[in-house]
Structure 1
Amino acid sequence: MNRRMMMTTAALGLGLAFGGSANAAGMDKVKACFVYVGPVGDGGWTYQHDQGRLALQAEYGDKVDASTYQENVPEGADSARVLTQMALGGCNIIFTTSFGYMDATNEVAAKFPNVMFEHATGFKRDHANVSTYNARFYEGRTVQGTIAGLSTKSNKIGYIGSFPIPEVIMGVNAYYLAAKKVNPDVELSVVWALTWFDPAKEADAAKAMIEQGVDVVAAHTDSTAPLAEAAKTPGVIGFGQASDMTAYKPSPRVSSIIDNWAPYYIERVGAMLDGTYAQSDTWAGIKDGEVEIGEITDGVSAEVKAAAEAVRDAISAGTLHPFTGPINKQDGSVWLTEGQTAPDGDLLGMNFYVEGITAEIPQ
């Protein structure tokens, strides 16, 4: 099962689901545990979650034990066994950092009502001790699309998708719309790697695009392989994904989307310590500091940098919504009218490309 899958409008309820306080009197010490779908050294998704774990430990010192984590945990029955072992091992709160852990998280939570479970990018909160959290990655894609549209020399930009689920389709659309806004001649190529972490497949996807003339590559996968491939061809640029990927600065990595989970982990564990913890569902973005835009380097012009920073700042200020009409769907039907912004439910259930993208979504 994929880390992140389609979320239907009926499954939402963002920011509205709150249970009673789990530990009204607070706790003297919290044992926080983490389950990872990939290796800590992936340089992207899992690496960034682990940076959040380390920040949590540094914040609270002896009041928190955040030393327990398990990496490379397959999604499915194996994750239920790992979660059960962690709950039996004295974990007070368990962060499950991959979409495919959703059912296992709720299954195990039912058996351990006094253990708090936090599920990243999911939507099921079947029990009062299950919370969910997510990030508005599409906001960062809008900044990247601006850079791509203004920087491309060939007018061909690319996007490496992992799985055809709303989070990724949302990213493709945001990237393309932003690029098209600043460069009406831009064309987008989409290659589906059908994996979250497989450096060889990710590199092959980037290579295929570059051979077709793409000179700006965005990736929605977990390794640094697309940037490594971009580095082989002068003039090709790309972006860090999930983490800053600074090893490839100042080019081909000209900016990045950084998933900053540390504030969330610190806040949630802090609530257990002070007795204010309650069930919640959050979807934070640039304004909240959960989605950060990494340094825009001199691998692009000063004008491009200024334009991208203006987009970032407008999103943060709430004066720019990446999905503001008029926007049609790929088939030409109206999605958003002039000035209309996309409801969260539409975004979290997104299963279509916007008009102008010629690729097909795999079934």
Structure 2
Amino acid sequence: MTLSRRLLLGTSLALSAGLLHLPALAQAKLKVAGIYTVPVEQQWVSRIHKALNAAKDRGEIEYVFSENVANADYERVMRQYSEAGHQLIIGEVFGVEAAARRVARDYPKTAYLMGSSGKPQAPNFSVFDNYIQEPAYLTGMIAGGMTKTNQIGMVGGYPIPEVNRLMHAFMDGAREINPKVQFTVTFIGSWFDPPKAKEAAFAMIDKGADILYAERFGVSDAAKERGKLAIGNVIDTQPQYPDTVIASALWNMEPTVDRAIAQVKAGKFTAEDYGQYSMMKYKGSELSKLGTFESKVPADLMAKVRAKEKAILDGKFTVKVNDSEPKSTR
């Protein structure tokens, strides 16, 4: 049976069941495209880019990407890659949900894995998110134990569920260790504006914050310049800020990306929520090593953090997911 006939037969059968089982492609390199609305250097997107490049380096996929794609242009780029025969398309569609889902309906033989606040869309539109609230809680515990002023500043991009839940988890972790801690929360209205994030952080330091939650680039720069401390998010920036960043909640996109690639190659890709593969039990997230702060964080504090980490991995403690917008407490 020819490949095209298998495609038609498989599509017909799968659509009748509400799911799409794409053709097995185990013998060929998968053609994968990434579509990003920000530079690949941006924290969140950099993790997707890193995981796809790892698969490329292993010889599993051919990988091309477009960065800095405007929301108004996203649908066109999706269609372009779909028409070019890319079998798996990955990106983030938080601002273009309707358009992206429209494209997926028009190309039912293509697999789409998109960062999204919405649900999967049968037969071929899967979603993912950075569910790293578990290590965010642990970093909050560290921050709560390290602050001297009991004032923590938090700078985020936009108050969307994906950001809100991490901030709330961080705040809950800090309060577990230090019930007296207070928070100043600011959203800068951008996913990539380091100067604006830096200015927001300066304002928090001026109000007494001695630890900053760096959800955006630019915050750690402010902390470094003023001699304060910072907690990282998504990536480990301690190498760039060895005297500033205590620890980070790391997102590892490899479990999500590798599963999607395997599913497409096996002809088993269906519309599903990949969010769980960002959680600690799947190694999709973790607390970074303390590195330069190994001897600076009190041992009794880290003992509590490690105990909580074990409880999370053992399924004995669940970090609460709160998607509502976090507010300043002072």
**Pairwise TM-score range, normalised by the shorter structure:** 0.7 to 0.9
**Secondary structure, counterpart of 1:21 in structure 2:** coil
* Corresponding position: 1:247 with 2:239: yes
- 5+ unaligned residues in a row in structure 1: which ranges? 1-16, 324-341
Instruction: Report the counterpart of residue 10 of structure 2 in structure 1.
Output: none
- TM-score, normalised via structure 1 length: 0.79
* Corresponding position: 1:28 with 2:28: yes
Any residues of structure 2 matched to 1:187-206 within 5 Å, and which?
Answer: 187-206=182-201
Letter in 1 for 2:69: V
Between 277-286 and 18-27, report the one with greater CA deviation: 18-27
Instruction: Report the counterpart of residue 318 of structure 1 in structure 2.
Output: 315
Q: Distance between the aligned counterparts of 2:37 and 2:74, measured in 1?
A: 9
* Corresponding position: 1:229 with 2:222: yes
Instruction: Report the counterpart of residue 65 of structure 2 in structure 1.
Output: 69
Change (3 A) 1:98 1:139: farther
> Greater share of helix residues, 1 or 2?
2
Instruction: Report the counterpart of residue 338 of structure 1 in structure 2.
Output: none
Q: Distance between the aligned counterparts of 1:171 and 1:270, measured in 2?
A: 29
Letter in 2 for 1:311: K
**Secondary structure, counterpart of 2:75 in structure 1:** helix
Instruction: Report the counterpart of residue 358 of structure 1 in structure 2.
Output: 329
- TM-score, normalised via structure 2 length: 0.86
Change (3 A) 1:352 1:199: closer
The equivalent position to 2:281 in structure 1, one of 282, 287, 308, is: 287
* Corresponding position: 1:108 with 2:107: no
Any residues of structure 2 matched to 1:46-61 within 5 Å, and which?
Answer: 46-59=45-58, 61=59
Instruction: Report the counterpart of residue 135 of structure 2 in structure 1.
Output: 140
**Secondary structure, counterpart of 1:34 in structure 2:** strand
- 5+ unaligned residues in a row in structure 2: which ranges? 1-16
- Give the C-alpha shift of residue 35 in structure 1: 0.7
Instruction: Report the counterpart of residue 11 of structure 1 in structure 2.
Output: none
**Secondary structure, counterpart of 1:104 in structure 2:** helix
CA RMSD, 1 decimal: 2.2
Q: Distance between the aligned counterparts of 1:86 and 1:252, measured in 2?
A: 41
Between 150-159 and 241-250, report the one with greater CA deviation: 241-250
1:3-30, Cα deviation, whole Å (9 max, x unpaired): xxxxxxxxxxxxxx98242225756331
Change (3 A) 1:25 1:262: closer
1:326-357, Cα deviation, whole Å (9 max, x unpaired): xxxxxxxxxxxxxxxx6xxxx4xx32558xx5
Matched residues, percent identical? 27
Q: Distance between the aligned counterparts of 1:164 and 1:97, measured in 2?
A: 16
**Secondary structure, counterpart of 2:225 in structure 1:** coil
Query: Residues 232 and 248 of structure 2 are in contact (CA less than 8 Å); yes or no, is this contact kept in structure 1?
Result: yes
